[in-house]
Structure 1
Amino acid sequence: MSFEPILLAPEEEVIEVYPYRRVWSTTWLEVGVLAVVVVAIVVLTDFVGVLPADYVAPLPKTGMALLPFVAWLVISYRAEHTAIEPRTGMLRLLIMGALVANGVAIPLEERLFLPDRWLLDAGFFGRVLGYAFTIGFTAEFLKYAVMRYTIWPQRFQQRLDGVAYGLAVSMGFATVLNLHFALYTDATLYATALRVISNTFQHMALGIILGYFLAELRVARPPVFWIPAGLFLTAILSGFYYAFHALAIVGGLGISPLRGLMLALGVVGAALLIMAFLIESADTRMEALTGRRQLI
């Protein structure tokens, strides 16, 4: 007669460790940090009166322009390098995003497109199309080209890789726009803070979408028009953002920068929630079909 050993304690369930940086949580933390800083500047200026409305010191303006980059470096980049399997090449991608913004996007906007001049009297949808097919398409194509011809496809193993890399290149792009506004205009610290959060959240939101389209091209089999559709969508969304931003800030005879702040927060928040849902749904369907998450 044989006896089976009696286990005095139940077997512990093996918990699989997630080896990658959790992109959504670090991005939400960045958004929260930036929002808190800008809201603090608005409150100290408009409601408390500690900061004068005409405060134009260049050093605080430059610091405000660099704040999104510093937040990304401390939160996302640091978390990436402490992950078990870090995504590589992110800082290089950010630098290249900054270079194309400074060398291509800004000169085209200021010397060729000049949208604020000829769209001044245009209607809402005229503004949408005007901004979309000038500075909108230019920005999104440049970000796409940086990712497509440097790290794609070898660095794209899952859909969230596209989001992480899209955020990195967008942060570099937005940082140059922020510095350009802070250094080459006479805007106050108050106006600089609002412009910085507008630029940063807009490009973060569009970078998430563009990165998803590029990642889907790697991990799935989308139709042949997938990337053109992604570029068209992000360009149109950019045009809508610029048009709505003008309406949000200027209402009646008064100007309400807070409405522009709420619009920027709403755009990046919606992009994070919607894309998180879409990616989780796509990964779940793939796992149901193959028995595992989609990895190349």
Structure 2
Amino acid sequence: MLLFSIIASAVAPGLALLTYFYLKDRYDQEPLHMVIKVFLLGFLIVLPVMILQRGMILWLGENPIVESLLVSSGVEEFLKWFVLYHIMFNHMEFDEPYDGILYATAISLGFATAENLLYAWYSQAAFGPMMIRALLPVSGHAMFGVIMGYYMGKAKFMKSKRSRRFLAYSLLLPWFWHGLYDIILNTMTHNWLWFMVPLMVLLWYGGMGKISRANNRSPFRFINREEEIITHNK
């Protein structure tokens, strides 16, 4: 019973957020098996991330700023971006801007869920700490995924020289926000909540705007509207 409770408390936040982002796709929902596949890829990259992070700590030493910007956010966001770009960027199912957000949040939430399971298993965490992790690390990874996917979607569907710039943004901006998030946690022992709450509010506010803008640029928006008009006139 305890094992089931640990697993449920670790997995539930990631699956709940993944369901939320899946349902936010207004015009052309993605095949569920593709979303699950990308989620599992995020789950699996935890192992290479842990190996790389351990090696970098041994090489660079333990410095909270370096650990926040390079070891933690740098390695995690780069590997998520690398896998997402090579698996999904040119995939036929990536056919509207919002798909970038959905697949990026899927890989991010898969990674966050695996982290959650490891944390819950090794610390035997109670309900309270797991709720905090649902509100902060899991939610944070989701928002970093929204930023990554939004700019990757812009890079894919913008037919100009600026597409490369947006592809760079899709890596650098999540890296920046993740690094800032980790710096707050790693360098502030008492007042971190006063900085973390505004940061999460800002990320969620910006993320909701990006979701709306990505959906509004969907080519299926106008197709669906024409079909509704034709159906209405029959």
Give the TM interval when normalised to the shorter protein: 0.7 to 0.9
Amino acid at match of 1:240: L
Structure possessing the higher relative contact order (Cα contacts under 8 Å, 6 or more residues apart) = 2
- Would the alpha carbon gap of residues 232 and 270 (structure 1) be closer, same or farther in structure 2, given more than 3 Å must change? same
Match among 224, 230, 235 for residue 175 of structure 2: 235
Given that 1:248 and 1:260 are in contact with CA atoms closer than 8 Å, whether structure 2 keeps it comes out as no
**Which of 74, 81, 87 pairs up with 1:150?**
87
- Give the equivalent residue in structure 1 for 2:164: 224
Aligned residue for 1:270?
Answer: 205
What is the alpha-carbon distance in structure 1 between the residues aligned to residue 130 and residue 195 of structure 2?
Answer: 13
Residue 277 of structure 1, CA deviation: 5.8
- The structure in which a higher percent of residues are helix is 2
Q: What is the TM-score of this pair, normalised by structure 2?
A: 0.75
Amino acid at match of 2:115: L
Contact 1:202/1:267, CA 8 A, preserved across alignment: no
Cα deviation, residue 74, structure 1: 5.3
Q: Is the 8 A contact 2:39 2:110 kept in 1?
A: yes
Per the alignment, residue 214 of structure 1 pairs with 152
* Structure 1 unmatched ranges of 5 or more: 1-56, 121-126, 287-291
Cα distance between partner residues in 2 of 1:196 and 1:114: 30
In the alignment, which of 83, 107, 119 is matched to residue 181 of structure 1?
A: 119
CA distance in 1, matches of 2:58, 2:136: 19
Asked if structure 1 preserves the Cα contact closer than 8 Å seen for 2:39 and 2:108, the reply is yes
Question: TM (normalized to structure 1)?
Answer: 0.61
Is residue 132–residue 239 contact of structure 1 (8 Å, CA) maintained in 2?
yes
Contact 2:104 2:149 in 1 (8 A): yes
Is contact 2:11–2:117 with CA below 8 Å preserved after alignment?
yes
1:245 aligns with 2:185: yes
> Which amino acid counterpart does residue 226 of structure 1 have in structure 2?
F
Three-state SS of the structure 1 residue aligned to 2:45 is helix
Whole-angstrom distance in 1 between the partners of 2:215 and 2:35: 23
For the residues of structure 2 that align with 1:63 and 1:98, how far apart are their CA atoms?
16
For 1:94 and 1:176, how far apart are their aligned partners in 2?
A: 10
Identity, in percent, stands at: 19
- Distance in 2 separating the partners of 1:273 and 1:114: 39
Where structure 2 has 5 or more consecutive residues not aligned to the other structure, the ranges are 224-234
1:46-65 equivalences under 5 Å are: 59-65=4-10
Structure exhibiting the larger radius of gyration computed from Cα positions: 1
Aligned length: 216
Does structure 2 retain, via aligned residues, the 8 Å contact 1:100–1:142?
Answer: yes
Give the deviation of 1:58 after TM superposition: 5.1
